[in-house]
Structure 1
Amino acid sequence: MQKKYDFRLVEKEMQNFWKENSIYSFDPESHSEIYSIDTPPPTVSGSLHIGHIFSYTQAEMIARFKRMQGYNVFYPFGFDDNGLPTERLVEKEEGIIAKDFQRNEFIKKCIATTAKYEKEFKDLWQSLGFSVDWSLQYETINPMVQRISQKSFIKLLQDGKAYMMESPVLWCTECQTSIAQADLESIEKETTFNYVKFKTSGEDLVVATTRPELLYGCVCLFVNPEDDRFGQYIGKSATVPLYNYEIPILADSKVDISKGTGVVMCATFGDSTDAEWYKSHKLPYRKVILPDGTIDKSVPLIGGLEVKRARKEIIRLLEENGLLAETKSITHTVSVHERCGKEIEIIPSKQWYIDILTNKELFLKAADEINWYPKSMKSRYISWVENLKWDWCISRQRYFGVPFPIWYCKSCGKVIIAREDMLPVNPLETKPDGPCSCGCDEFLPESSVLDTWATSSITPQINAKWGEEKDISDRLLPMSLRTQAHEIIRTWAFYTIVKSLYHTGQIPWKDIMVCGFVLAKKGEKISKSKGNSELSPKELIENHSADVIRYWAANSKLGTDTFFSVDDLRIAKRFITKLWNASRFALSHLQDIDINADIELMPVDRWIIERCKQTIVEARSLLEQYEIGSARHKIDEFFWKDLCDYYLEIVKERLYQPEKRGVRERQSAQHALYYCMLNVLKLYAIYVPHITEYIYQSFFRQYEKSISLHRLCWETEEIADHEILVFGEKLKGIVSETRKYKTENALPMNAEMEKIVIATDEKLMELFQQTIDDIKACCHAKIVEISS
């Protein structure tokens, strides 16, 4: 082994070695138990950042860990390359707007962009040494996945779980499409509460509203039936200011007595409560806002204006006409589309939905059947399900997505479903192969596409090739593990559970591992859109090494957020240097090892072996709970302290001077050193696979039967000798005390000591007697005396 470790040469060499020897391939013929991982297919919406490295690397470490526990690991990778995120990326990069292009022309641009980014993503994961079986790769726009996705929709439609309805829908005027409740984010925004006078037969009723531009859409006023101030108005009418038409005054217990004036205007539609009232009270609809975010031209005074301009104009007119009592600046919570940050509107539209509201209890019950890591994440899921207000809207008025496999009869309007052997089908390019049951042979194709989550929610089925020629659902489902970040519990986790229960009647996976975020500064997530990632992952890997980045990624408790700074990599670099130097030292003393020698081990050597076994047991237990960071810290404690700081210092003389200490004594140290260094490499293999593999190939492979370190299994031996562990801790204390004494007295560590007296329990006396020469050598003591 060369003196200095060169990661630039080693990492590429090891990656090529793994690829050439198919080290990480899933073996469909193996009888070993399968451990399958449902990995998040990253959305093709821009370059990856350190936050992606953090969460994806943690999941990859679990794949390596399970492989080294003897499992046949099924570890695929996919790319979520259809849908709105990709479209917005193309629009941004090309400086274009999708609607200005022919549909096919725009889709070609999307395909070219996704190909470029998927290569970049794949190169990055491979440069990190990901142990993925790339033969299992999928893309959510490829024909097989489209076929499975369309099959999923047809099954839901036939089972009565999918339906089409014209009703108020969440709408993004920026992206020009319907969206689902899960696509919303809540933000705090500065605005004004406008106190508007509505005339009645008695006194004016003052209504506080943040959306006066919807006055023309006002269909009634609501008061709380328990509010004594307004009881006499219930059942009467009021006049809408500026527009001078009458509306009823109704009662509803949803009205918050303490908010505003206690009188609320219901307009079609200001918020989700308006939509609920519209349905429950069978109110009329008055059109105000159009899908493009402008006011309908038929609306007097503000027709044709954009919403914010219309709001200013209405406030001006109210003030001018003495209809505005006052205005107050407030900060309130508004819902925005998470993809573009635009405030959403609610407009009536005909859309496709999946029924989720009638089965909330089923989804809550599923949460109890899944193991959540950390457990606290389960409550986020439960809170989301309990607070659902809308069925899942799955249709999007966009272009680059999986098409709905349906047409509508031009004559009777019947939904015509594509036959399964036609899938994947694009109804814009293909016609049904026969007439409608009414005899009509003219059809209108569905032009909307499926929400991207409608496809990525079936990743377990995609991985199992559900309904395809090589379907392995019976072997793979439910999958062993889902790994994801916590912000998509409401989308990816929830939707996958919904689809799996609807399609298979069972949970999609046994365990879910939820990772935290990497933060740029307090409370801010590092993201592609914010451009606050300090350096690109590619530059970080090229400048600091994949293993350094990986070691850093395994630093925190599962599910917790962390900060990132390049300075944080210093500890990881120190570790790589330490592992390299410790290995060089060990291997220099193992060149002449007799691997098959029958040796009676000395106490110190017995201790370090038992301490190594103890570390394996503890690390395994933590990793079974997906506590990657805590497990790494346990291994670090053994390697840095027990092995390097204490053991190597204690046995140095035996290794260097067999003529003084004896050949058998040296062999005992060699045996312990071989065992510990090999197992340290195995323990760290999941974290820093390149350097550990390189060291293994440099020496250990000649004695072990495995072509690769990563195909070896961790030791399964339990701790056999607890007394020797107590002895080891006592011995460490003695060495530590002598070091402390020399430091406090300004003595060099090799300064000779006249005498060390060790007081110990009777049962440890013999062990210390056998260790006197090791203690003398390590502490540079002339005399070591043992007393009980």
Structure 2
Amino acid sequence: MNQKYDFKRTEREMQKFWEENEIYKFQNGREKKIFSIDTPPPTVSGSLHIGHVFSYTQAEMIARFKRMQGYDVFYPFGFDDNGLPTERLVEKERKIHARDIPGKEFRRQCMETVEGYEADFREMWKSLGFSVDWDLEYHTVSEESRKISQKLFLELVKKGKAYMKESPVLWCTQCQTSIAQAELETKESESCFYYLVFDAGEKILPVATTRPELLPGCACVLVHPADKRYKKYVGRKVKVPLYGFEIPVLEDDGVSMEKGTGAVMCATFGDSTDAEWYEKFSLPYKEVITKDGRIAEHIPFTGGMKTAQARRAVALELESRGLIIKKEELIHAVAVHERCGTDVEIIPSRQWYIDILTEKERFIKAADEIRWHPARMKSRYLDWVQNLKWDWCISRQRYFGVPFPVWYCAECKKPILADPCQLPVDPEKDRPLSSCSCGCTEVIPERAVFDTWATSSISPLINARYGEEGDRSRQILPMGMRHQAHEIIRTWAFYTIVRSLYHTGEIPWKDIMVSGFVLAKPGEKISKSKNNASSSPMELIEMHSADAIRYWAANARLGTDTFFSEDELKASKRFINKLYNAAKFSMAQLGDFELTGDPAACLLPVDRWILQRVNETSIKTGKLLEEYEAGQARHELDELFWKDFCDYYIEIVKERLYQPGKHGADRRRSGQYALYSSLLEIMKMYSVFVPHITEYLYQEFFRKFEPELSIHQKLWKRAEGREEDILAFGMHMKDLISSVRRYKTEHGMSMKDKIGRLQIRCPEWMTGYYRETEQDLSACTGATEIIYTVQ
């Protein structure tokens, strides 16, 4: 072995070795039980960063662990390579707007862009040593994914769970598309509460609003039924200030008597409550804001203006006419589109929806059928489902996505669905196989595409090749585990549960592993959109090694956010050096080792102790990894390796290995066996976290003794039962050696200096173990005499 570990050469060599020998190839359950993993297909919306490495690597460790527990691991990787995030990336990088060029050309440029990014993504995951079966790779824009997505949409329509309607919808004026409730974020915004004069004849009705630009869209004023101040206005009409038309005053329990004046205007549409009242009271629709975020041209005073400009203009006009009673500056939460940060509007539009509101109880029940890791993440899911207000709008007025397999009759406008046998279809190129029931043969293609979540939500079914040739649903569904970050519980987790229940009647996976964020600074996660990562993952790998980054990633409790700086990789590098040097020392002492007979039958107490500690740690670490707690599992293993194995065991056994003439061949053989076995088991456990260096060390030495081609094909060993007396002896012995070391430090002595008499206070039953260990103790502590005091 080289004096120093060369990670740059070794990591590439090990990756090549794994690939050439198909170490991680899925065998389709031919010989082992299957454990299937639903991996988040990264969205092609920009470069990956350390936050992705953090969450994906934690889950990859589970894949390795399950493989070493005897499972045939189905571990695919996919790419979410269509939809609005990708379109925005292409527009930004190529300095174009999708609406300004032909759709075919824009989609071509999108495909060009995603292919480049996906090659980079794939290279990064491979450089991190991911044990993925790349033959299982999938793409949400591929022909097979489009076919499955369209087929499942048609299935939902047939079941009455997908439908089309014209109604108020959440709309992003920047992206110029409908969006779903799950795509909303809130931001704090400075605003103003305007207390306006609504003319009620001989009296005025004061109404407070933050959006005076919507006055021309007023459909009514509402008050609470119990509000005595306004009883006399109910059923009457009032005039809208500045615009002069009359609207009714109605009652509704949803009005807050404490907010503003207690009288609220309902305009079409200021917020979701306006949309609810619009439907509840069958109010007339009055257009104010158009799809591009401007005031409709026919509106007096503000026609053609952007909404913010119109707000200022209307406020000035109202003030000049004495129609503002007072103003209050305030900061309030405003709904924005998560993709671009633009204030969301509500406008009427024809869209496709998936019914989720009527099945909320079913989705809540599903949460109890899934094991959540960590458990507290379940409450986030439940909070989201319980507070749903809208069905899931799945249509997007964009270009690069899976098209709806739908046309509309040119005469009666009825939807015409594609025949399943012609999927996948592009309605702009293809035609339906049958004409409309009204007899008309002319059709208008649906130009909207599926929301990207509508396809990525069926990732388990895409992985299962659901309903297609080679369908493996029975083998991998429900999947063993889904991993994801906590901010997409409301989208990817929820939508996948919805789709799985609707299509298969079962939950999509048994366990869900939810990771935290990597933070750039307090409260700010590292993200592609903010571009706030200091270095790219590939730069970090090149500079510090993949194993160093992986070791760092297994540092935090599952689901907790963490900070990252390159300084934190110093601890990783110290560990890798320590493991390399410990292995190098061990291999030097094992040059003449023979794995024959049953040396375990006559092991010395200290050798039995280290093997017991390894077994104990294997059990603890395994239980933690079964709960997806990679961070806690690594800390348990570190405790064994750094302290028990390196600080104590190697130091205790060192002279016995060096000087067989002094200690005897049998005692040396006992130490060799314990050293070989404990180091191999420690490396097997660490191989989950740092696969490259452990594979290298296995190939350098252990492979000549072991039948498995790779350390990652080996199983963890766990013996039943604990030798409590040996573990207690080991703990007592560590305390004893620690006391000697402390004594030498306090007296300015070298650790190699001799001491005179060493008095051991211990229970009588322990003296036998100590007497067998005296030679090791004398060598380790420098004691020239050992005596015992029985406690």
TM-score by length of 1: 0.99
Q: Which residue of 1 aligns with 2:747?
A: 745
- Give how far 1:412 is off: 2.3
- Give how far 1:2 is off: 0.7
Other structure's SS at 1:560 match:
coil
- Provide Cα deviations, 1:285-308, integer angstroms capped at 9, x if missing partner: 100000000010011111111111
Q: Distance in 1 between matches of 2:510 and 2:329?
A: 50
- For structure 1, the 5+ residue unaligned runs are none
Comparing 196-205 with 439-448, which one deviates more in the overlay? 196-205
1:708 to 702, 707, 710: 710
Q: Which residue of 1 aligns with 2:728?
A: 726
Letter in structure 1 aligned against 2:12: K
Q: Which residue of 2 aligns with 1:419?
A: 419
Letter in structure 1 aligned against 2:81: D
CA contact (8 A) 1:610 1:719 kept: no
Q: Which residue of 1 aligns with 2:607?
A: 605
Q: Which residue of 1 aligns with 2:331?
A: 331
1:660 and 2:649 are equivalent in the alignment: no
Comparing 159-168 with 253-262, which one deviates more in the overlay? 253-262
Q: Distance in 1 between matches of 2:192 and 2:198?
A: 18
Q: Distance in 1 between matches of 2:360 and 2:13?
A: 52
Q: Distance in 1 between matches of 2:438 and 2:195?
A: 56
Q: Distance in 2 between matches of 1:347 and 1:545?
A: 52
CA contact (8 A) 1:617 1:718 kept: no
Q: Distance in 2 between matches of 1:755 and 1:94?
A: 80
Q: Distance in 2 between matches of 1:202 and 1:607?
A: 95
Q: Which residue of 1 aligns with 2:445?
A: 445
Q: For residues 508-657 of structure 1, what are the structure 2 equivalents within 5 Å?
A: 508-599=508-599, 600-657=602-659
- Give how far 1:786 is off: 1.9
Comparing 185-194 with 479-488, which one deviates more in the overlay? 185-194
Q: Which residue of 2 aligns with 1:71?
A: 71
- For structure 2, the 5+ residue unaligned runs are none
- Give how far 1:414 is off: 2.3
2:756 to 754, 761, 783: 754
1:671 and 2:702 are equivalent in the alignment: no
Q: Which residue of 1 aligns with 2:505?
A: 505
Q: Distance in 1 between matches of 2:196 and 2:122?
A: 57
Comparing 415-424 with 378-387, which one deviates more in the overlay? 415-424
Q: Distance in 2 between matches of 1:319 and 1:371?
A: 58
2:776 to 751, 774, 777: 774
Q: Distance in 1 between matches of 2:489 and 2:638?
A: 32
Letter in structure 2 aligned against 1:492: W
- Provide Cα deviations, 1:14-59, integer angstroms capped at 9, x if missing partner: 0000000000010025231100000000000000010000000001
Q: For residues 291-330 of structure 1, what are the structure 2 equivalents within 5 Å?
A: 291-330=291-330
CA contact (8 A) 1:515 1:558 kept: yes
1:699 to 684, 689, 701: 701
Q: Distance in 2 between matches of 1:390 and 1:306?
A: 27
Letter in structure 2 aligned against 1:630: Q
- Provide Cα deviations, 1:471-513, integer angstroms capped at 9, x if missing partner: 0111111000000000000000000000000000000000000
Q: For residues 306-385 of structure 1, what are the structure 2 equivalents within 5 Å?
A: 306-385=306-385
1:456 and 2:423 are equivalent in the alignment: no
Other structure's SS at 1:626 match:
coil
Letter in structure 2 aligned against 1:724: I
Other structure's SS at 2:191 match:
strand
Q: Which residue of 2 aligns with 1:764?
A: 766
Q: Distance in 2 between matches of 1:22 and 1:345?
A: 52
- Provide Cα deviations, 1:400-459, integer angstroms capped at 9, x if missing partner: 000000111112222211111211100000111232222211111101000000000000
Q: Distance in 1 between matches of 2:717 and 2:146?
A: 44
Q: Distance in 1 between matches of 2:688 and 2:730?
A: 28
1:139 and 2:139 are equivalent in the alignment: yes
CA contact (8 A) 1:653 1:777 kept: yes
Let me know the Cα RMSD of the aligned residues. Answer: 0.8
Letter in structure 2 aligned against 1:685: S
1:13 and 2:13 are equivalent in the alignment: yes
Q: Distance in 1 between matches of 2:438 and 2:302?
A: 46
- Provide Cα deviations, 1:499-544, integer angstroms capped at 9, x if missing partner: 0000000000000000000000001110111111011111000000
CA contact (8 A) 1:614 1:719 kept: no
- Give how far 1:112 is off: 0.2
> Share of identical aligned residues, percent?
59
Letter in structure 1 aligned against 2:217: G
Letter in structure 2 aligned against 1:339: R
Q: Distance in 2 between matches of 1:462 and 1:688?
A: 31
Q: Distance in 2 between matches of 1:231 and 1:525?
A: 50
- Give how far 1:585 is off: 0.3
- Give how far 1:250 is off: 0.9
Letter in structure 2 aligned against 1:122: R
- Give how far 1:244 is off: 0.3
CA contact (8 A) 1:406 1:416 kept: yes
Q: Which residue of 2 aligns with 1:271?
A: 271
Q: Which residue of 2 aligns with 1:189?
A: 189
Q: Distance in 1 between matches of 2:590 and 2:575?
A: 22
CA contact (8 A) 1:765 1:787 kept: no
Q: Which residue of 2 aligns with 1:783?
A: 785
Q: Distance in 1 between matches of 2:721 and 2:632?
A: 20
Q: Which runs of 4+ in 1 moved over 4 A?
A: none
| Paired residue total | 788
Q: Distance in 1 between matches of 2:81 and 2:260?
A: 45
Other structure's SS at 1:330 match:
strand
Q: Which residue of 1 aligns with 2:235?
A: 235
Other structure's SS at 1:329 match:
strand
Q: Distance in 2 between matches of 1:671 and 1:493?
A: 48
Other structure's SS at 2:313 match:
helix
Q: Which residue of 1 aligns with 2:105?
A: 105
- Give how far 1:235 is off: 1.3
Comparing 340-349 with 435-444, which one deviates more in the overlay? 435-444
1:46 and 2:30 are equivalent in the alignment: no
CA contact (8 A) 2:28 2:34 kept: no
TM-score by length of 2: 0.99
- Give how far 1:746 is off: 1.2
1:82 and 2:82 are equivalent in the alignment: yes
Other structure's SS at 2:709 match:
coil
